[in-house]
């Protein structure tokens, strides 16, 4: 059984807390930091093991946050379900492809994905949309196609993919961003669970590290939610700061891979 030292467990909990805090505070992009944290702070040396572990942690934290949004009745369940189910097939394919790629090459691609996430966080978010949107024959095929594509990317890199799922749901259905953020958690959790299961089948999930990471993430998420009122008026600044952090980590990951 894979074990952790006390120092590694502390780093896993601290890293999970920081990611959970960032997700709650800025609303996305935080899970992209899970793989670098597991590799360079916790000390997991295998890229595929870090990706499988990250996917599990992302899935659990996503479903925990989904429960809070569900209590507020903000989730468009039918649209979210169609997007998630089609994306699960994409995540299964993407994670299978990811396991076949050499770890060093995968990290270089991961660094490029981090840059894309950072750029997405700098873009202004549209707030419009129809809050009464319902699943129909017109939007169904769009949700299926977009879900499949975002699931593929999410599974390949072992990330939540919320930065793709939220605009995908808005584009495919026309729902407002508030509902898209809530509905995206169904997909993020489903994609992460599919990816984690695929990696676990190959013995590439560090269960103990994942448990510490998830525990820290839940604590960080609670703290971040309590600070959400403070963050609401400073969202743009926080997004820019966090995007800068992602760019810096992307540069470090790329340098280490080279």
**Cβ atoms within 10 Å, residue 229:** 8
Q: Give residue limits of the domains in the chain.
A: 29-257
User: Could you tell me which of 94, 111, 79 has the C-alpha nearest to residue 181?
Assistant: 79
Confidence of residue 150 (pLDDT cuts 50, 70, 90): very high
The model carries a pTM of 0.85
pLDDT at residue 83 tops 90: yes
**120-152 residues labelled b (16+ CB within 10 A) or e (exposed):** bbeeebeeebeeebebeeebbebbbebbbbbbb
Q: What is the mean pLDDT of the chain?
A: 86
pLDDT at res. 167: 84
Given this model, what pLDDT does residue 178 score? Answer: 77
Q: Give the model's confidence band at 28: pLDDT under 50 very low, under 70 low, under 90 confident, else very high.
A: low
- pLDDT for position 90: 95
Which distant-in-sequence residues (6+ apart) come within 8 Å of 158 by Cβ?
A: 35, 50, 51, 52, 54, 55, 58, 95, 98, 192, 195, 199
How confident is the model at residue 235, as a pLDDT? 63
pLDDT at 133 over 90: no
Q: Which pLDDT does position 86 carry in this prediction? A: 96
**1: pLDDT strictly greater than 60:** no
What confidence tens digit (pLDDT) does each residue in 169-180 have?
988 998 887 788
Mean pLDDT confidence for 246-256: 87
What mean pLDDT do residues 93-100 have?
A: 94
Mean per-residue pLDDT, 231-239: 67
Q: What are phi and psi of 63, to 5 degrees?
A: -65, -35
183-203 mean pLDDT: 92
Tokens linked to 206:
């560090």
| 107-117 residue pLDDT tens | 899 888 888 88
Can you tell me the distance from the alpha carbon of 179 to that of 77, in angstroms, rounded to the nearest whole number?
Answer: 10
Percent of residues, the chain, with pLDDT higher than 70: 92
pLDDT tens readout for residues 60-72: 888 887 887 788 7
Does the pLDDT at position 15 exceed 70?
yes
- pLDDT for residue 223: 85
Q: At residue 80, does pLDDT exceed 90?
A: yes
pLDDT at residue 236 is higher than 80 = no
Q: What is the pLDDT of residue 227?
A: 76
pLDDT at 128: 67
Q: What are the tokens at 232?
A: 């609401």
pLDDT at position 168, please? 87
* Residues 129-145, mean pLDDT to the nearest whole number: 89
| Residue 10 CB neighbour total at 10 angstroms | 15
């Amino acid at each position: 059984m894979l074990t952790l030292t006390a120092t590694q467990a502390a780093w896993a909990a601290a890293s999970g807390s920081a990611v959970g805090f960032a997700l709650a505070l800025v609303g996305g992009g935080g899970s992209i930091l899970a793989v670098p944290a597991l590799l360079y702070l916790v000390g997991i040396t295998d890229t595929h093991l870090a990706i499988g572990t990250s996917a599990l942690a992302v899935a659990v934290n996503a479903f925990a946050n989904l429960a809070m949004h569900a209590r507020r009745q903000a989730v468009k369940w039918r649209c979210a379900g169609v997007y998630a189910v089609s994306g699960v097939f994409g995540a299964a394919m993407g994670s299978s492809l990811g396991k076949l790629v050499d770890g060093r090459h995968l990290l270089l691609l991961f660094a490029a994905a981090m840059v894309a996430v950072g750029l997405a966080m700098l873009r202004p978010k549209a707030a419009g949309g129809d809050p009464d949107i319902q699943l129909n024959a017109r939007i169904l095929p769009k949700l299926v196609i977009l879900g499949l594509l975002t699931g593929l990317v999410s599974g390949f890199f072992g990330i939540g993919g919320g930065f793709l799922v939220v605009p995908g749901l808005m584009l495919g259905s026309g729902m407002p961003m508030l509902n898209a953020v809530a509905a995206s958690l169904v997909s993020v959790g489903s994609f992460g669970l599919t990816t984690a299961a695929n990696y676990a089948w190959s013995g590439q999930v560090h269960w103990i590290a994942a448990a510490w990471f998830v525990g820290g993430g839940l604590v960080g998420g609670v703290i971040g939610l309590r600070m959400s009122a403070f963050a609401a008026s400073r969202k743009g600044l926080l997004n820019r700061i966090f995007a800068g952090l992602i760019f810096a980590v992307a540069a470090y990951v790329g340098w280490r891979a080279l």
